[in-house]
Structure formats: C-alpha cells, structure tokens
Structure 1
Amino acid sequence: MSLSNTVELNTGWQFREIDLGKSDSWLPVPSIPSVVHMDLIHNKRIPDPSLDTNELDCQWVEEKSWRYMLEFATPSRKIGDKAVIVFEGLDTVATVKLNGNEILKSDNMFVSHRIDITTQHLDTSHNTLEIDFASAARYARGVEKDHPEHWFIAHQGESTRMGLRKAQYHWGWDWGPRLVTAGIWRPVRLETFSSRVEDVSVQYSVDEKSKDCQGIIDVHVEANAQVDVWLGLQGPDGSSVLEKQITVEKSAQVPFTLRKASLWYPFGYGEQSLYTLTCNIVHGTTIIDNVRRKVGFRKAELVQEKDSYGKSFYVRVNGIDIFAGGSCWIPADPFIPRISAQRYREVLTAMVESNQVMTRIWGGGIYEEDIFYEVCDELGILVWQDFMFACGSYPAFPDFLDSVEREARQNVRRLRHHPSVVLYAGGNENYYIQETYKLTYDYAGDKDPQSWLKSSFPSRYIFEHLLPKVLAEESPGSIYHPDSPWGDGNPILDDTVGDIHQWEVWHGVMKPYQIYGEIGGRFNSEFGMEAAPHISTINQSISDPREKHPSSWTMDFHNKAGQQQRRLASYISENFKVTNLDLNSWVYLTQLLQSEAMHYAYRSWRRQWGKPSQRQCGGALVWQLNDTWPATSWAIVDYYLVKKPSFYAMKRDLSPLSVAVMRKHNNDWTKLFPSRPDTIEYDLWVSSSKATHIENATIELRFISIRTGQEFLPTQHKTARIEANSCTTILDNTKLDCPLDRDAFVIFAKLIIDGNVVSRDYDWPQPYRYLSFEDRGLGVKLNESRNQISISATRPVKGLIFGERPGLTLSDNSIDVMPGEQYIVDVDGLQEGEALTWKYLGQAEAPTCKL
C-alpha cells in the first residue's frame, strides 16, 4: 500500500484570449488561484478597477473567452494507484482538456471536481492541461434565451445572471462594480493514492444541562479493498478523549460519548472550545492518508414560539438565548483570490472588537473560504449562511436543479463540522420578487412541490423543497429558513413573524432613522445607512484632485446606490446645519449620519430583546460589515479595513452592559418640538448580555444645557438590579418639567459598576440643525508616547470624529463629550510627526483641525 501524494498545480500557468488565435500571445500567470482580471492587471493589460473610473476600462474582459494552459510532469506512482486531478473551483463555464482529450465540462462556480485520470495516457516528462473559459456573460444570455418558458426577473445586475451558477455580485450591485470574472479561482492539484479518506464527519446531540455529548463519527474512504482506519479525538487541552482503530471498506460509523463535554459558545457567552478530530488510513505504523479538522459541540436552536408580539425568532445556543447583534457579510473583493487569510482574520476580529456576535453570509456572493469559518469558530462568531441565490426569480429546469443539488450537497458537507454555522437560509430577497410581481404562491393551500415547478414562481421548489431536503440529509438537525426575509409565507414586511429587511429608512419612503425602534421586526436581518469612507480611502481610490469633491463624477461612480445623492443630501439636510460642503465636511456629515442611525437602531432593538418569553426582537444585522471595493456605501468597515464612526456606535450599543436614555419626540423628527417645551418624557434602561444579574448598579443622570454646559437640575443617582441577559427598565415614561427659561439640553446617562464607568449614553434634542455648537471649550491632548488621547469639554460636544487610515487604530471614535467628564482614547500606529485630524459637529473652524 503506497502513501498518498499531492502535487499543487499552482505555478507555471499561462493564459491568453482564445479569440486572438495567436500561439505567441501567451501571458504568464503569477500563481493559481487567480482570475483573468488579476492576470491582466499583472501583465499591465488593464488597470486596477478600484481606482478612479477604471472599472469601465475593464468590462470588455467579460465578453471574451480565455484559455489557461499548464505543462507538468507525471508524478511517480505504484501500480494500482489512482491519479486524480482536483479542481476546487472553476469560474465558471469551463472545458478542461488533458493532452488534448476532454476530461471535464462545468458551468457551476460553486462546485469542485475530482477527475480520475488513471487510465489517461500521461507522459513522464510532459503533459498539457488546458482550461477554456467561455464568456460567462454571453453564456448566461444564451441560457435565458433557451428558456422562454421562465420569466427571468432580477433586481440588481441583469436578469441573465440567474441562469448561471456564479457569484451574482459579479454582474454589479448597488454597492460594487460589474466585473464578470473567469478563471481558476480555487486551487488545483494532482493526487496519487492507493486509498484516501474521502470524508469524515460528526453527527451528535448535546444535553444542555449535563453537557454530555453523544454521537457518531461517520467515515468514508476511497479504496479498492478494506483499509485500517485510526480515529482520534483530542479535547481542547490536547488530551485524548477517543482513540479507535477500525476496518473500513467504503464507510463506517463509530459511536462516541463525551461526559461533561467542553461545549462551544458564541463570543461573550462562554469558551470557544474546539476538539481535534483525526482520521488516518494506516498500514501497520505507516500513515497512508489523513484528514484532521477542528470540531465544536453545541446545541443550536431557532426559537419560534407564539407570544404576545406574534411569533418569536431568535437563536438559542446551549440553552442560552442570544441577541444576535451583528452585520451582513459580502465578498471582500471583486476578485476572491486577492483576499488573503490575514485579511479575513482582520475583518472578523473587528467584529469581536465591536461586540458583534453574528454575521450573515449574503446569498449573492460565495460560500466563503475555509479560513472564514475557521476564524469564526475560533472567535465565537455565529454564522447565518445563505445559499447563493439573491434578488431574483430563479429558473428550475432539470439541469439547473441537478447543478444546484450538487452545489448544495458539496457545500453543506464542507461546512457542517463548523460550530459557528448555526443557520442556513435559502437566499436573499427572492420572495421580494414573488411578492412584487405577484408570482404564483399559495403557501398554505399548495403543498405539492411538483406543482410549484409549473408555476410562475418555480424558485419555491428550490427554497422550500430541494435545499431543506439536502440539508436534512447531509446535516441532520441543522436549522433552515427558506429565504431572508421570510415569515411563514406572510408578507415580507410582516413585523410579527420571521425576519425582515427594514429598508423603509434609506430606501422606500426614506423614514427618519430615529424611528428604527418603531419599525423593526422579530429579527432585523438587514437595514442600513450610507456613509463615505475616511479621506484616506478616498485619496487611494481617486487620483485627480479636481474630482475630490462631494458631487464629482468619480465620487458618484464609487457609490453604486440608486438616487444616492438625493437620499444622502435629504438625510443630511433634515438633521444637520449645512454651512460648508467641501469634501471634508461632506465626509464628516455622512459618517455622523450613519453613526447616529446605527445608535438609534441598535439601542432601540436591543431594548426589545426584553426578557425570557418576551423576546420582541431577536437580533439586528446591519447591512453591511465590509466593502468589496473603495466606495461610499452602507459598510461600517471600508475596503481598506478602516473603521467608520458607525463601527464605534455599534461597539458601544452592543457592549455586554449598555445604558440607554431616550426622550419622546413627536412624529415628525425633521422638525424640532418646541425648543423650550413645558414638559418632556423620557425612558432610561440598561441592556445586558451577562449570564448573571448585577446587583446594586448605579445609573447617574444629568441634564446639561447645550448653550452653557451647566446642569439645570441636580444630578440623579438610581440604584438598580440589572437582570441577566435582558433589558432592565430603570425609568419609563418619566415626565420632566422644563420651565420656559431653560435652554435645549442633553440628557446624559452613565452606568457605574463597582465604581467603574462601564457605559455612557446621550439623548439630544432633534434635529441637530436647530442647535448651536459654538465655543465648546474642547480640550484634546495627545500624550508624549503618542498612544493615548485625553478629551474634555466645558460645554456639550456632539460627534467628535478623528480621521483614520490603514494602520492607525483607535479604541473609540464618534464621541459625545460632556462637561465634567474625562474621556480616554487609545491610539495605535500614529507615526512620528503625523497629524491626527479631528472634527466635531458645528465646529467653527472651516478646515479640519489637527492635533
């Protein structure tokens, strides 16, 4: 029996445009994985589309067909060994030839292929592997033309994209460029073996009280005869908890029991305990082939129970209810192979830094790279995994369904061992299409999947039959949700059931962001507000100084959202006094706008987390965490991993203990209620994700004049018991008499535990445009080590924002500063002699100040 051998086919490739037909037109490929745009950039045939309007100069690439070629030597192998070429991902319409013989045709980007070439004639010194990639754009148009029986309807991109199993965002979206790629986007390798581990998986159940775990290890091997398999399971501390050797012909199941297992918990709720599962094919003392992976044990539930608000929708892990505060994930680059493992780790680590516990992998991108899920396992980030369908009425002809089924099986098998993956959804906003265009859908009355295929909405067959069937077979017990948003067949904006995408702020009627708390649902899986990135990012993406102003063509080009100028201008003019619209001021106001919107959303919806059996809101996932390219968008961390001010607002509002105060307003937030009202009402509460109650917490409440900085009422101190994993109301509908001679004022709340300030919150009169912020008496001091800033003020300061850039990080930003308070911000990466810029709302100086 011979050892398995793997040769990575990642160097030595060449490529050329097929239509040129010139033998001397081959260009070098630096490395595989890659896509043709990356290789053209490397060879200086196209510019980087992230700069200026270069995207337009790159779009011709999608209309061409491309050939990749590699010459390689045949690795030595013993008689009886198999030889297999493995393609982990081909993008997308590919024909593969080995030494002139066709060995594969594929039209699904999301599937891998194992091609047995054992019987192929292989030359010891010289073999030729060729892959032709047809134009995906042209191919997709042909699919639509060939199926006139289906109504191809798409929001975003173009309708033809739905007939091809390819990342849908490549056709362009309202946050990213149109760059329809082609190429070897995941690794290629040559394997020779006599036997190999085909797959090893774990099915288990957890008793949340005893923490006992029972299950089976399911082993599959590829071999011509029986083989000996050694199984090992090591605990998080490295100790062996299971060792067993068995004989396997094709498959075997090995039962196991773990007493008082070390369970895996989400970030902030316990340890992220991971066991190491090892599966070796052995011959005596020799390891022939092996697979090793990290696995975690946990019990995950989607709690959907009838209550006074309708039907709940929240995640429970190991018996603990989890408020899923987090964000939605989109592909981090137009060209996936450009995303390094370190980049994945940095963005996901930022989630933990900002107290986010869940990310939703959006259905118009990809099933993410292995490193993504591995880091989520390590950090304790819950993953909501969409299948790759977005904003469309997808066809359901037989070949398409076969391809989708293969895609689903492969990817569920790849992901099922990750404890972080707690929920699968059929896709993104596909039932919007059904509802908008009144496609056939009788959820309660028609339960026959075959009839769905004959309707005007055959996608239902995929979302409500095919995908849940595959998931149940490949990962029994996993949670499935037909689409996002979706709620038991009810209208997509039904706030009593399922999840909703709350876009009445920004899109639709452009409601004020201050009313997020009034328009949320049982789980808010999308919502958002746009903002420009920091100036440092704009400078990297726009080269012409004349284009660096808010309404330039290039600035608009780097914002793909429809009607974005009108929407941003409307929200800014409704809320802020606009006296200057240079680029610095525009960037500042959009960032403060987004930060304020996130503050109102997260503190309001987290308040609705309530108490056990009263979970009105189970989570909030902002659209979106990250960017695909440098842009003005809904992202809270931009393309260059620079955090926008909204990132810090979320960090504060999702902290384990977060105090909140909010006065009641009239229904029109665009006009200030009388600046000197006789009476106001306000609420005060504390949100907690702590596992235990907090006794004798102190909440300090101050009422501070915006004009003078003086308090017009004595400071109040409240002592309260903060309930575990709940929202504790401190004051509700509390009336405050305001004599007519009082100024507009800030209500300032501070949560103190054991003498330490753990949270602050501020309620300001709305809108800000009516308020004056002159002579704030702001003091900003950088220490000698240039790693800490001390901040103070004599009058209330709104929205103090420091400029950030790649490599320069802050512990806090977008800060409100109150008199009598000392604020400390840690700084990392500030270079010697570098100016740290800052700006606050209503700042008298026109230019941005420098520290």
Structure 2
Amino acid sequence: MAVASALFAVLALALPLVAQAEVLSLSNLEWTLKNQNGSIAIPAQVPSQAHLDLLRAGVITEPLLGINEFTQRWIVDDNWTYTADLSSILKKESKSEKTLLVFYGLDTIANITVAGHPVAWVNNQFRQYVYDVSDLLAAPSSHDTNLTVAFESAWLYGLNVTSRPDAEWVHGDIFEYPTVRQWTRKVQSDYGWDWGPAFVPTGIYKPGYLVTLPTVTSDQTSSEPASHPLLVSSSSPVFIEESSLEVSKVGQTPIELPNESAPWLLNVTLFVRSAVAIHSPSIVISIPELKITSPALHVSSVPADTSAPTRLQATFTIPEGVPRRWFPANLGTPKLYNITTSLHFSSDAHTPSVAFTTQTGFRTITLVQAPYSEADVRERGITPGDQWHFNVNGRAFFSSGTNIIPYDPFYARTTSEQVRWVLESAVLSGQNMLRVWGGGTYQPSDELTGGYDFYSACDELGIFAWSELIFSDALYPINSFLLESIEPEIRQNVRRINKHPSNVQWAGGNEIEGIVIGINQTQANGTHYLDEFQYLFGEFLHAIVSEESSSVAYTDCSTTSGVLSLDPYVIRYNNKTSGFIYGNSERYNYDASQAFNYSTYPVSRFVNEFGFHSQPSFFSWEEVLENPEDFSFNSTVVASRDHHPPAGGLAFPNPNSNQGQAQMTAAVQAWLPTPGTSDSNQTFAQWCWSTQVFQALNMVSEIAWYRRGAGLGENNLGSLVWQLNDIWQGTSWSSVEYSGRWKALHYAMTRAYSPVVVYPFWTPENQTLEVLVSSDRWEAVKGEAQLTWYDWEGHELQSSKKSFTVPTLNNSVVFNQSGLDKILPKGKKVEDVFMFMNVTSNVEGKTVISESVFTPISLANATLVDPEIHVTRGKDLTFTLSAKGGVGAWTWLDHPAGTVGYFLDTAKNIPANGFYLIPGSDRTVRFIPNAELSKVLSPSPDDFVVRSLWNNTHL
C-alpha cells in the first residue's frame, strides 16, 4: 500500500500529458477520525479502519493483545467519521475539468459528503463506488471544504434493521454478534467465527482516489501502455472504471466441456467515463511476446458523460497452439502473457488513445458434473452417480489444497508480502488449489485498488483459486433492498476476476444448501426458506455470474448435492438415488477416538472441507499473552481465544471454549504422550505442539484416504483441508500461523501432497494392514517401495522391497496382510516397534522420494526411548540432526521468535520437519528465511532448538 501511495504521489506531479489530468490517492490527504460525540479526535490514515487509527494514536493497545477483543468492544458500539480537508484541491478546481471521487472499498454503512453536499449513502463493503463531484467542489456549502465519510456502527445498524416489524426472521447464527450479519453486506466473520475474533471493524479500508479529467483532448499519446487501467487517467480525459478480460475457447460455455482444438477467444470489456465525446472509438488488442495485434475493433460511441460509465466490448480470436497454456505449478508451468488493450478515440490508429497492460494466461478449466456413463460403471468400476471434479486444459486432475480465510481481522493492514508468503507456503507444500471461503472477502487483484495482491500472485505462482460469493452459514432475507445492493457487487467482482487463469469457479456461498435442506425438513415454514434460497442461489446469482463469465462454472454452494440439470440450472437438493454418489462433501468429527476410523470418512467425489483444530506455537502465544500465569493450556486468556464452539452472544470469556479445549486434550491424551514436565513453560509449549502433531496425523490420514479414492469407485479427485492461514493467534484449524510460522500440519501436507505418496491403511477391527502407493500424475509412475521395521532403540528388525507401477491418478498396493502375528516382526510387541516406509519413484525425469510411518499402537502407549538428539550447526543456517540414543519420533526443529521461513531437507530438496530421526540416518536441513516478514534478519544458530515426542514428558 505504501508503494501504491508513493506511486500516485509521483503520478500526480510528473505525468500529466493533458492539462491538469491527475490521479490523486486519498492517502495523500490529511485525515482525522472522530467518534460520535467528538470526545475522540485523532489523526487518521486511508486506507485504514478505526481500530488501526486508534492504535496509531495511542488510544488503544494492539487489538490482538490479551483480551482486547473483549475490552475494545466499545469501539463497535460507536460511530466513526473520517474527514479530510480538500482546500488545496478546491483552489485548483476548473470548469474545464471533471473530478471523480473513487472508493474501492468502504466498510460498511456510511454517508459521504463533499464540500458540505451529500454525495451518497452506502451499505456494501464489497462494491466500488464512483461519483462525479465536479459541481460539488465548484460550489462548497457554507465554506465546508471537507471530504467526509461518516460510518455508522454495522452492529447497531443491523440491530435497527432486524428490529423492524417487517424484518423477516431467518435462521440465526451462533457467533459473538449474532443475528445481524445477514442484513449487512460485510465480511461475515467480522461478527465472529469459531477460529477468530469479533471486532466488527469500520473505515475506508481500501484505496480511494480523486481523478481529475480534462474536458479537452490532447494530441499527445503515451508511448508505453499503463501498467493498470486506473493509470490511464493520469494522461487522458478517460477513466476506466472497470475492465474485464476473459480468455476462453470459441463457443465455450460454463456447462459443457470446451473444444480444446478451437481457437482462443479474448473478450475485453471496458466501463468508461469520459470528459469528452468519443464518436468512433476502437479497441486494439495485442500480445507483444507473440507478436500478435488485432485490427481496430469498432465499439460503440462514448458520450461526454462522467456521471455514469459506458460499456465497451470487443473480441479477438487467436489460433490454438500459438500461446502456451497455463498450468498449476504441480502439473506444468503457469505461463503468463502481457495483453495490451488500447482504446483509440477513432478508427485511425494515429489518433489519441489510452492503453494498459493486463497479465493473463491461456487455459481451460471445467467443473465436470455430468453423470457417469453405464460404461464407466461397468468397465471402470465407478460407483453410479454424477461426476464432480475439475479438468484443466481438457484433463482431469486431483485438486490438492486448503481453504483460506481473511488474513487479519483488519483488512487494511494486510500486505502483499504477508499474503504472498501464505501462497508460496501452499505451493511449497504441494498444493494446487485454494478455496476462497465465502464468509470472508472477495480477494483482491492488485495493490492499487485492493490494498494487496492475491489473484495475480496465484496466477504467477501457479495455484488455483476456487472463488465464492460472500454468503455463509445463514439464510439471507430476500427483498429488493438486498438484491439491488448485491447485483453490482457480484458483477464488479466477477468482471474483475475474469482475467485470472487461477480462478476455477464461482460458488454461491458457504454451506448454505445443507442448512436450507435441514430447515425445509424440520420447520413448518421450511418451504418458504427453501423457495428463497432457490431464488437467490439457484436463479438470481446464477444468472448474474453466467452473464458476466463464460469460462468458469457456477455452483449454488461450496458443499452441494450437485445438479439435476445444468441447462436449465436445477439444483439436486435431496433428489438422490440410494447407492449413487452426487456432489461433494466435507467432514468434521471432534471425537478423537474416531480420528483414524475410515468408516467415518466420506466416500465422495471431492472433499472440500475437513479439519481438526490445534493451538498455535509457544512463539505465537508470546506475541499476545501479557502475564506469566497466562502461559498455560487452559488459562483464562488462552481459553478465551478458543471460539470453538462459538459463544452465541457477547458473553466473555467464551462459555463454550471448554468443549474445544477438551477435544484437543482428549486427542493428545489418546494418541500421544501426555505433556507434563517440571518446567511449566515447556509443558505448555509441548501441549501446543502436540495438538499440532495430532492435527497433522489426523489430516494426513484423511488426505491419504481421499487420494486412495481416486482409484476406487468414488473416483475422488479433490482434497481441500480446512484451513490454510490464521486470522490471529488463537485456537484454529490452520496449517500456517498468523505470523507465517508453519505448523506441523503444513510440513505434513508437504509429504501428503507429494506427487507420489506411500501410506499405511490400518484397520484394527480385523487387524489388516494395506500399504498403498498413490500418484496424482497424468502418466503411469514406476518405482520401488522399501518397508523396514525398527524398534524404538533404532535397531533394524526386518526389511523388504517391492517394485510397483501406479496407473494414472490411481494406486498400487505394495503390502497387504491380516493378523498382527503375520504383520509384526517375529516375537515383537505392538508397543515396541514401528514400520518406516520409503518410496522412490521417477516422475517426469525427476526422482521423488516419499516416506511414511506405521505404528501399530497409539504413540501414547509406545515404549519410546530417549533419542539423545545432537544438533550440528553449519554455515547458512544449516543443521544436521543425529539420534545418538533411540528413535526421535516427530523430531521437530524450531526457528526462533521473530523469524519467518521454513526448513528444507538438503538431500531431497523439499520442506521437512516433524520426521522420524533414526540412529545412523542423520537429517540435514537448512532454514530458508523470508526476509520481508522476519523481524530478526540474522538469527543466531544457537537459538534454533529441537524437540521430539520424548520431550512431552522429559526436559
């Protein structure tokens, strides 16, 4: 954001190519923030939110500290007004200019005034707003020279709206600020969720600008295209309010498999406000790298009207085979091209024009939902029903990934560096898809309009983004007021995201289909709510998305039963045939005794949510706990940051947190040595880490099960763990902590999402062990598996090898045996041994090594031996770990506080931590720091410490 502000400061001074043309960032103005009664008046910033300005002014301490979520609730109950003086701009205002006020995000309920004149009342956080304020600036009212944005508390507004006699009461929710979020177009988790706080922030949270356009045209034309549509206004009488670039195949629709040999179709749509009339405009599309330029594509005339935009659309075809295709990073190269769009003011290419560059990729992405054929059922052994998976460039693939939530309770302080690290972490762990959860926010495309970058980074890094409209876990009241607000919201965001090859689909919302099916079955007026859901998600939203995008599919809900028909669009709901499989699934089971019971796992085509919660590391707790007595697993402050299950109201501490704490406790006690040492801080640290180890064990088991399903009747082709990132330092389902530190789960996913993996499927009921090698490659994979039994002292007991071939997206069994007497080494007990599995395979000319461990009994009952781990510290933060005693189960190296990065296995060149350290088999890892996020840039090697499960009960 600082980069964007500096850029516009320079632009405003140095780049006007026509008289007075200017783009002024609102961040360059001097802002003040006041509360309702004026008792607080402080300097403010834009973009920002009230909490952040209060923090900078010293009125409050860091909101994430201690129990500030509770003590700072007074901020939610007040109204906050942002004001900036426009005197300097008023002095320069000319009748020969038009001035536009542009907001890319206002959170949420606000009155806008300029120079004492009312401009608008707004109520949607997810929309951009543009107003022609030329006349208002020319005639200030009562010497008022201010730009004022007066925000009303979204919480109080919601209470007011829901108290109206005509307010329809629909399914409520259980979060801290309940029952109002359905009536406000705002980040739904701002009101609380089971993994985060409830701050209900407010403010000008995204960038805003004053754009001045001359009413005369210059003969000058910039020789270089602008890097962003917004920047063309620095040199022309034209403001490009919106732009959409969609790449698809000729004839492609979201409901059919595209013709992969058809030409590519580039569809450019511009929404233009112009201070001058453009009578015969044309658009030229070019791809410099390919030396391709379209002819002048004539579009409709543009009036001299800055009060509303004019839509311009042009299409251009490119032969198949000319551009290289974009692939996710784990399946190919995410190739991107710069597309230059030039808007000429006439059909003559030598007349004035504006141009900008958009980066995009050429790919087809399809959500396949057609029924499986009788031949599939008969010949492939597919369980009958509908397909539910994605094809990229005409080929089915396994979606390996996680779900993302907001990166911070306060959007305005999220940075591109923070987000990029999370995305890079996902790619490093083998993921190819992230689901953008529908209770958060529409992720942005760039810093200039969104404050930080998400989708462009996904494009570059090669990771898919499953997009959702912002509706979550509630039934929404259907009225003209809501529909009029959300229609431009949806259109603006779909158009913006069209250009991103990383986008795979639009889901109507999060988990609502299942809610309405349940209400329809249990409430007397359930059909009323079902009808409303059908209208909003089955008709209204579907129509909008389909009108704005032809390259990606729309589904009514994140977790869905699928469809009866795609054309017309008919949701299946409960119209199912017994024994058939439809749609996708999710799984949450907090009974730790069932964590590894495969009969409780869904047999599904695609699993888009599954998870178990854990604590953040001791290092994260150090960032927010203020007193020594807080550093305890069940201390009041620690428990207050466990929102699972949510409080259901404003009671504090969360009266239900004991349930979530008990679930984690039971899981650790059942499956790992129970932490307990004479050092209270170590005990707390081991408890936190042990919850992460269990989480990793549980999630890897499920990932393996779903990958196994790719080769079975369900043909499961998707596994998205809940969740990737954290919004604060507290109990959550994340694999990456708020600071960017990787949890045990993230390193475990690096193993579980490897192209070729080995996993032991143990069924204790019949004492059957099946070791399976799974591959997500598009070609058959050959390799060798080595299965070795050890005792906990590290002695090798027996070993075997087996060659294998895994077909495309399938499995190969390398071991299958029943009966412990036949499985275990002769004369050994279950508590005394474990099997170490190692697989080496050749994938696309590269050697891929995968490992896994089978323990025939819970590690809580294993006869662990002191591993006596020795650490040799080398150059460049390289560490060699050696077990001088027994086996180090879940050997874990911690990097010090203030550092962000990951450990790389120098032999395998993959991230590694939380491994079994066997005597005689040393491991060497190197810490790869993230210099942009690390506060400590030159950590001492002595500050890196090692632990294992042995340390749960020993210092």
Give the TM-score normalised by the residue count of structure 2: 0.80
Contact 2:46 2:206 in 1 (8 A): yes
Matches within 5 A, 1:245-394: 245-248=296-299, 249-250=301-302, 251-260=312-321, 261-282=323-344, 288-304=353-369, 305-306=371-372, 308-309=382-383, 310-370=385-445, 371-394=453-476
One-letter amino acid matched to 2:238: S
User: Which residue in 1 is equivalent to 2:124?
Assistant: 108
- Report the CA distance shift for 1:757/1:429 in structure 2 as closer, same or farther (over 3 A): closer
Q: How far does the alpha carbon of each residue in 1:455-489 deviate from its partner, in whole angstroms, 9 at most, with x for none?
A: 46623321111111101101124211111211134
Q: How far does the alpha carbon of each residue in 1:749-789 deviate from its partner, in whole angstroms, 9 at most, with x for none?
A: 11123696611111112322111102435444333553232
**Local SS of the residue matching 2:74:** helix
Does 2:783 correspond to 1:683?
no
Pick from 100, 104, 108: which aligns with 1:84? 100
Does 2:227 correspond to 1:136?
no
Pick from 821, 831, 846: which aligns with 2:939? 831
Distance in 2 of aligned mates of 1:602 and 1:130 = 51
**Local SS of the residue matching 2:160:** helix
User: Which residue in 1 is equivalent to 2:954?
Assistant: 846
Query: How far has the Cα of 1:742 moved from its partner?
Result: 1.8
- Report the CA distance shift for 1:786/1:167 in structure 2 as closer, same or farther (over 3 A): closer
- Report the CA distance shift for 1:569/1:436 in structure 2 as closer, same or farther (over 3 A): farther
Contact 2:838 2:850 in 1 (8 A): yes
Pick from 16, 20, 26: which aligns with 2:41? 26
Distance in 2 of aligned mates of 1:234 and 1:303 = 31
Gaps of 5+ in 1: 443-450, 668-679
- Report the CA distance shift for 1:824/1:491 in structure 2 as closer, same or farther (over 3 A): farther
Pick from 553, 558, 567: which aligns with 2:641? 558
Distance in 1 of aligned mates of 2:573 and 2:855 = 38
Distance in 1 of aligned mates of 2:841 and 2:185 = 53
User: Which residue in 1 is equivalent to 2:24?
Assistant: 7
Does 2:213 correspond to 1:213?
no
Contact 2:35 2:41 in 1 (8 A): no
One-letter amino acid matched to 1:69: T
- Report the CA distance shift for 1:400/1:126 in structure 2 as closer, same or farther (over 3 A): closer
Query: How far has the Cα of 1:419 moved from its partner?
Result: 0.9
Q: How far does the alpha carbon of each residue in 1:218-267 deviate from its partner, in whole angstroms, 9 at most, with x for none?
A: 445434332544523326xx342224334431424232223302111112
Worse-matched range after superposition: 563-572 or 721-730: 721-730
Pick from 629, 647, 652: which aligns with 1:546? 629
Does 2:831 correspond to 1:814?
no
Distance in 1 of aligned mates of 2:282 and 2:97 = 18
Among the aligned pairs, what percent are the same residue? 24
Distance in 1 of aligned mates of 2:776 and 2:98 = 54
Query: How far has the Cα of 1:154 moved from its partner?
Result: 2.0
Distance in 1 of aligned mates of 2:952 and 2:522 = 59
- Report the CA distance shift for 1:433/1:209 in structure 2 as closer, same or farther (over 3 A): closer
**Local SS of the residue matching 2:596:** helix
User: Which residue in 2 is equivalent to 1:671?
Assistant: none
One-letter amino acid matched to 2:880: I
- Report the CA distance shift for 1:353/1:491 in structure 2 as closer, same or farther (over 3 A): farther
Pick from 739, 764, 771: which aligns with 2:855? 764
User: Which residue in 1 is equivalent to 2:222?
Assistant: none
- Report the CA distance shift for 1:390/1:576 in structure 2 as closer, same or farther (over 3 A): same
Distance in 2 of aligned mates of 1:301 and 1:564 = 38
One-letter amino acid matched to 2:635: S
Does 2:72 correspond to 1:58?
yes
Query: How far has the Cα of 1:516 moved from its partner?
Result: 5.1
One-letter amino acid matched to 1:502: R
Query: How far has the Cα of 1:630 moved from its partner?
Result: 1.1
Query: How far has the Cα of 1:431 moved from its partner?
Result: 2.8
Query: How far has the Cα of 1:433 moved from its partner?
Result: 2.8
Does 2:620 correspond to 1:537?
yes
Worse-matched range after superposition: 600-609 or 147-156: 147-156
Query: How far has the Cα of 1:511 moved from its partner?
Result: 5.3
One-letter amino acid matched to 1:692: E
Contact 2:31 2:46 in 1 (8 A): no
Query: How far has the Cα of 1:515 moved from its partner?
Result: 2.5
Distance in 1 of aligned mates of 2:498 and 2:132 = 26
**Local SS of the residue matching 2:175:** coil
Distance in 2 of aligned mates of 1:465 and 1:844 = 55
Distance in 2 of aligned mates of 1:690 and 1:791 = 34
- Report the CA distance shift for 1:8/1:768 in structure 2 as closer, same or farther (over 3 A): same
Q: How far does the alpha carbon of each residue in 1:789-814 deviate from its partner, in whole angstroms, 9 at most, with x for none?
A: 23446644321122234335312111
One-letter amino acid matched to 1:253: A
Worse-matched range after superposition: 629-638 or 800-809: 800-809
Distance in 1 of aligned mates of 2:823 and 2:74 = 67
- Report the CA distance shift for 1:409/1:808 in structure 2 as closer, same or farther (over 3 A): closer
- Report the CA distance shift for 1:681/1:711 in structure 2 as closer, same or farther (over 3 A): farther
User: Which residue in 1 is equivalent to 2:496?
Assistant: 414
Query: How far has the Cα of 1:557 moved from its partner?
Result: 1.7
Distance in 2 of aligned mates of 1:328 and 1:712 = 41
Pick from 55, 67, 80: which aligns with 1:41? 55
Distance in 1 of aligned mates of 2:746 and 2:902 = 12
Contact 2:867 2:950 in 1 (8 A): no
**Local SS of the residue matching 2:715:** coil
Contact 2:247 2:264 in 1 (8 A): no
Distance in 1 of aligned mates of 2:760 and 2:522 = 46
Does 2:791 correspond to 1:705?
yes
User: Which residue in 1 is equivalent to 2:684?
Assistant: 583
Matches within 5 A, 1:492-503: 496-503=581-588
Query: How far has the Cα of 1:319 moved from its partner?
Result: 1.8
**Local SS of the residue matching 2:27:** coil
Does 2:295 correspond to 1:244?
yes
Distance in 2 of aligned mates of 1:579 and 1:472 = 54
User: Which residue in 1 is equivalent to 2:837?
Assistant: 749
Query: How far has the Cα of 1:725 moved from its partner?
Result: 3.4
**Local SS of the residue matching 2:674:** coil
User: Which residue in 2 is equivalent to 1:573?
Assistant: 669
Q: How far does the alpha carbon of each residue in 1:301-321 deviate from its partner, in whole angstroms, 9 at most, with x for none?
A: 112233533433211100222
One-letter amino acid matched to 1:600: S
One-letter amino acid matched to 2:472: A
Query: How far has the Cα of 1:660 moved from its partner?
Result: 2.0
Gaps of 5+ in 2: 1-16, 214-236, 251-257, 303-311, 446-452, 563-571, 646-658, 678-682, 905-911, 930-937
User: Which residue in 2 is equivalent to 1:670?
Assistant: none
User: Which residue in 2 is equivalent to 1:195?
Assistant: 238
Q: In proportion to residue count, which structure has more helix?
A: 2
Give the TM-score normalised by the residue count of structure 1: 0.89
Query: How far has the Cα of 1:397 moved from its partner?
Result: 1.3
One-letter amino acid matched to 1:839: R
Distance in 2 of aligned mates of 1:500 and 1:212 = 36
- Report the CA distance shift for 1:731/1:833 in structure 2 as closer, same or farther (over 3 A): closer
Distance in 1 of aligned mates of 2:902 and 2:436 = 26
Distance in 1 of aligned mates of 2:54 and 2:280 = 47
User: Which residue in 1 is equivalent to 2:232?
Assistant: none
Does 2:538 correspond to 1:461?
no
User: Which residue in 1 is equivalent to 2:888?
Assistant: 797
Contact 2:330 2:431 in 1 (8 A): no
User: Which residue in 1 is equivalent to 2:225?
Assistant: none
User: Which residue in 1 is equivalent to 2:234?
Assistant: none
Worse-matched range after superposition: 789-798 or 299-308: 789-798
* Root mean square deviation, CA, Å: 2.9
Distance in 1 of aligned mates of 2:202 and 2:97 = 33
Worse-matched range after superposition: 511-520 or 644-653: 511-520
Count of residue pairs the alignment pairs up: 814
One-letter amino acid matched to 2:807: E
Distance in 1 of aligned mates of 2:616 and 2:829 = 35
Distance in 2 of aligned mates of 1:467 and 1:119 = 36
Distance in 1 of aligned mates of 2:922 and 2:614 = 29
One-letter amino acid matched to 1:763: F
- Report the CA distance shift for 1:437/1:218 in structure 2 as closer, same or farther (over 3 A): closer
